[in-house]
Amino acid sequence: MSATVSTRTAPTGRGPLTELFLGGSRARRVTLIVAGALVLLSAVRVISGEQSLTSSSTIAAALLLAVPIGLAALGGLFAERAGVVNIGLDGMMTLGTWGAGFCGYQWGWQAAIVGGMLFGALGGLLHALATVTFGVDHVVSGVAINILAAGLVRFLSELLYTDNPAGGGVTQSPALDSRPPELSLPVLSSGPDLLGDLERLNWFLLSDLAGILRGLTSGVGFTTLLAVLLVPASYLLLWRTAFGLRLRCCGENPAAADSLGVAVYRMKYIAVVISGALAGLGGVFLVFIAGIYREGQTNGRGFIGLAALIFGNWRPGGLAAGAGVFGFADALQLRSRTAVVALFLLLAVVLAAVAIWQATRRRLVQAVAALVFAGGALTAFLTIEELAPGLVSFTPHLTTLLVLSLASQRLRMPKADGLVYRRGEH
């Protein structure tokens, strides 16, 4: 007697669109998403006539504006993967800006990087002391650090910059004498300006690709390159090393990690100090952009970085994409008011795609909501010629909120994130 084994695969219950993006390797999904985004941007540029949508200057500005947000999000990743919610990212960025300004004008840009990261790490150390050792609620501690950082930098500025022969005052430092060197990728950005010539032809897709490559490879600062490399380095550290496994275990099940010999308290301290140092590095970047420390320089970017972290599902690649979305919207509103109107068309197409996506997954409420917002965005594109200045500056925030609220991906935070851990109580 012989038995027949069926090799028929069970139905997944997915629609063809869902299967296209969810099936197969992650590399294929990422490639499809990037290619689709490029085609969509090119089509919107041609329809709207706004060449700045994919111009090299817009892309270069988007990279600059995305880096501090991405660094704050990366700092939040380390803390939250270890189980500590870090609402104090903005305060740690503020400390980083002051440290960079103070050290930078005296000893150069290298000292600015070290000083900014040290000041941010001190903010992280304070947050770890409050949450890990004393068991203070993580949100309360983070809010307190934001308030404390704002008061501390004002006090230090009044103490050290008032009547300073080098300049400065109660709200700013003396100007930095030096900044990090800029790099350009060989072949693409040196010699004849082939990418620039192709960009100026305004061809569909090819000119857009040339503009993006030119913006990403020409005159890239050392700190920008460092920040970009930190994304894959963080992935390798957290997901491909024993240290990263121990750190993530502390954010998933600290009691189990403790039973296996992991020093949970120490790992949490290390993670939160790294978190503060990375947020401080984001503050350093802001100082390098302006060439000086100014009070209020972060402008809430720490909170936006936290939103990018959630949007990215607590993964390095996802948070980088979230930071890029905000950086692009922010760069576009700095370019021109009419270019921002073209964002409504882009937003309408994206939300329509989200509606179709949600409908294939039988989430009708989310699909209808996305479709309604898509109709509103399309109406705005067709009826508005130029936005008022106040609305233009709010466009990046509106774009981020809509994407975060309607993308509705499968978010999964670390299980022990935000919980106070005490050995022997679990």
pLDDT top residue among 310 and 25: 310
Is the per-residue pLDDT at 249 higher than 90?
yes
CA–CA dist 42, 209 (Å, integer): 9
CB 380 within 8 A of CB 347: no
> What local confidence, expressed as pLDDT, does residue 6 receive?
42
Listed in sequence order, the residues at least 6 apart from 210 whose beta carbon sits closer than 8 Å to its beta carbon are 56, 195, 196, 198, 199
Does residue 265 contact residue 149 with C-beta atoms inside 8 Å? no
Res 17: pLDDT: 44
Q: Is residue 322 a contact partner of residue 308, using CB atoms and an 8 Å limit?
A: yes
267-288: per-residue pLDDT in tens?
999 999 999 999 999 999 999 9
Rg (CA), the chain: 23
Gap between the terminal Cα atoms of the chain: 54
Using a 10 angstrom Cβ sphere, with 0-12 exposed, 13-18 middle and 19 or more buried, the burial of residue 15 is middle
DSSP state of 261: T
Token code pair at residue 144: 């307190």
Q: How many helices (H) and strands (E) would you count in the chain?
A: 17, 2
Most confident of 78-92, 217-231, 295-309, 348-362: 78-92
Q: What is the pLDDT of residue 7?
A: 41
What's the token pair of residue 394? 């709010």
- Rounded CA-CA distance 291/99 in Å is 13
Helix (H) or strand (E) holding 220: strand 220-221
Whether 385 shows a pLDDT value over 60: the answer reads yes
Contacts of 263 (CB under 8 A, 6+ apart): none
Confidence of residue 347 (pLDDT cuts 50, 70, 90): confident
Q: Which of 412, 127, 100, 421 is nearest to 274 (CA)?
A: 127
Using an 8 Å Cβ cutoff, are 300 and 393 in contact? no
Judge whether residue 79 has pLDDT over 80.
yes
Q: What is the pTM of this model?
A: 0.87
Query: Rounded to 5 degrees, what are φ and ψ at 221?
Result: -70, 160
Look-up of token digits 């022969």:
165
28-42, 52-66, 95-109, 355-369 — most confident range:
95-109
Dihedral over Cα of 147, 153, 159, 161: its sign: negative
H or E segment and range at residue 182? strand 182-183
On the question of pLDDT at 22 being above 50, the answer is no
- Strands 220-221, 182-183: pairing is antiparallel
β strands within 242-367, DSSP E: none
